[in-house]
Structure 1
């Protein structure tokens, strides 16, 4: 069994980048912080669209999002995430009003996408950490931008990131048969829609409860294996 060293580095990059972002954010005037936030939202939307266009069957993506949204709404996932985030915020005695939002948005952004799956898989199956270390650099810079705008909650996204990617590395051999190229494309495309939603939230165009849509990723895997 291979130690998920790449995921440990990735989590450390998020924490390190987040600390830099906190230091920068504290020194930025409100108007500068606002334009940084808007720029981050625009860039996030572009990343989401690029990922969403990877679908070879838009119906899989559509039904995954719809099915996931209904399932998450019935399960009240957003409420669970908010309660967990607020409990952590209270324990840390943080006064940041965007703590939970930063935690949820950063977790979705860092844990969704082909690199978040392929990187840990390559590490677990072949001991190759190239992809996950490259992702670490990207996530580190993204963490700087997110933490400067949304605060300390972004740093704690390193915990679900480590658990998620580390688990993929440890169980890569078991999961590999279920995540072929077709499934990966549809999973990435569905995740891209969620990341597009993060951009919309960052721009404050419309508040989308993205946590309720997370089951869409499970639907994408199942539907792609059946109809892909």
Structure 2
């Protein structure tokens, strides 16, 4: 298989699953779609927990000391929140979703007539795009799978992720509609970039750095789960810089040890 196969297959399963979800979603009562969203929130919380536990990874403790991993994740999230808020990343992601909604479904929305209906369709599209982009692109399989494929170790992890994302896309699209399908744009950009990064880095990706990144990503997924469960609308988009800051902090702490 050529490099990039995993991302290509992943994008295809999201497109297929999202389209299928849109086609069957309108047949389901609102109550059923709401329960499906709750189920997705709980599963996302489970995935988040299995990712966040990477903060206890032995390679991370060996690199930075036993007491530092939690502080590194805290520092990454706090600093990431400041940077992301100043850059208004969540607003920019929503803006991209709004652009895609007008680009691909604008005429359909206006044909529905009432402004309230059109606004509801717009909101659902943007929410579907934002939440799906975060779920499909923040998890450990995205990061590790893309880098692993880039360094030439195969696309097995991304192929597994493709199957999981395909089923998730069906459920998401049944509730949020075409915004889930549009999240393929984000998926291709993020995973493609990580695969290219893996190809540049070769096989030198320290386990400690990946553990910090994975743990931080797990906490971001907690924020996504809270949104799905309608507990708190966490601005997860503004926290995304934490994913870049976490491995940098690991490197800094390692220098001073």
Structure 1 residue 202 displacement after superposition: 0.8
Aligned 8 A contact 2:3 2:152 in 1: no
Which shifted more, 79-88 or 99-108?
79-88
Query: Cα RMSD over matched residues?
Result: 1.7
Greater CA drift, 31-40 or 84-93: 84-93
Encode CA deviations 1:73-97: one digit per residue, 9 max, x unaligned.
1111122122221122122214422
Aligned to 2:149: 123
1:76-225 equivalences in 2 (<5 Å): 76-92=88-104, 93=106, 94=109, 95=118, 96=121, 97-126=123-152, 128-176=154-202, 179-225=205-251
Matches within 5 A, 1:20-59: 20-56=20-56, 57-59=69-71
Classify 1:10/1:209 alpha carbon distance in 2 versus 1 (closer, same or farther; 3 Å). Answer: same
Unpaired segments ≥5 residues, structure 2: 57-68, 110-117
Give structure 1 stretches of 5+ with no counterpart. Answer: none
**Max radius of gyration: which structure?**
2
Q: Distance in 2 between matches of 1:36 and 1:85?
A: 22
Residue pair 2:11, 2:187 contacting (<8 A) in 1 also: yes
Q: Counterparts of 1:53 and 1:159 in 2: how far apart (Å)?
A: 29
Task: Tell me the residue number matched to 1:72.
Answer: 84
Return the TM-score normalized by structure 2: 0.83
C-alpha distance in 2 between matches for 1:176 and 1:204: 41
Q: Describe the SS at the equivalent of 1:205.
A: coil
Query: Take 1:179 and 1:222, find their aligned partners in 2: how far apart are those partners?
Result: 13
Q: Which residue of 1 aligns with 2:64?
A: none
Contact 1:114/1:184 (CA < 8 Å) preserved in 2? no
Distance 1:144 1:128 in 2: 27
Q: Distance in 2 between matches of 1:206 and 1:171?
A: 34
Structure 1 residues 177-228: Cα deviation after superposition (integer angstroms, max 9, x where no partner)? 6631111111111111111111100111111111111111111121122225
Runs (4+) off by over 4 Å: none
Q: Deviations over 1:56-78 (max 9, x none)?
A: 31111111111101111111112
**Count of equivalent residues:** 227
Give the TM-score normalised by structure 1.
0.92
